[in-house]
Amino acid sequence: MAILDIISVPDLILRRKARKVTDFGKDFQMLVTNMIDTMRDAPGVGLAAPQVAISERLVVVEYADDEDDETVENEDTPAVVKKLYVLVNPEIVEKSDEMVLGIEGCLSVPELVGEVERHEKITVKALNRHGHPIKIKAEGWLARIFQHEIDHLEGIIYTDRTDKVWKPRDDEEIPLD
């Protein structure tokens, strides 16, 4: 296990359309594990392979729907449980008509956030880390995270989708991909 270097704009790898994954062998499994460790270390809620300078269609996401709730971990109250998603060759196959604005940050665009309009609900088809088909229906922040990460696979950065970008105040907490 290793923490990978996260590249930042203007690195050109972030602007390339990523290649489809076809080999799910030992090296790929190590890449998945390293990306999960890197995302957690950053810390972020998602990470796409192009962000670690690998132009492959791979995304890892870790998020809990009730992450906004204030949860204190003690003997009587368990910590919020986050769900880990590994999406290989993901594609959005359904999108709601309803769009919502939300503030996004990105590990590859340090110290800036922006307001981005995204679909409220989406359905994603992908393969899991072992090459088996999966289908996920997501809404709210999870849908936003998936859309943000899948954009990375297309060479799109959230700043391409907004005119409103700023440096957040120290007390603003923004989930980062």
d(CA 127, CA 19): 14
Closest residue by Cα to residue 133 from 89, 102, 166: 89
d(CA 47, CA 55): 13
According to the model, what pLDDT value does residue 76 have? 58
d(CA 106, CA 164): 14
Buried b (16+ CB within 10 A) or exposed e, 90-126: bebeeeeeeebebbbbbbbbeebbbebebbbbbbbeb
Task: State the average pLDDT over residues 53-61.
Answer: 98
Q: Mean pLDDT for the chain?
A: 92
Other CB atoms within 10 Å distance of the CB of residue 148? 27
Consecutive H or E run containing 28: helix 26-41
Three-state secondary structure call for residue 131:
coil
Three-state secondary structure call for residue 61:
strand
pLDDT digits (tens, 9 = 90+) for 118-132: 999 999 999 999 999
Task: State the average pLDDT over residues 169-175.
Answer: 73
Is domain 12-68+81-166 classified as CATH 3.90.45.10? yes
Tokens of 88: 């290989």
According to the model, what pLDDT value does residue 1 have? 78
**Domain extents for the chain?**
12-68+81-166
Q: What is the pTM of this model?
A: 0.90
Q: Please list the active-site residues.
A: 149
pLDDT digits (tens, 9 = 90+) for 92-128: 999 999 999 999 999 999 999 999 999 999 999 999 9
CA geometry: angle at 103 spanning 33 and 39, to 5°?
10
Residue 42: is its pLDDT beyond 90? Answer: yes
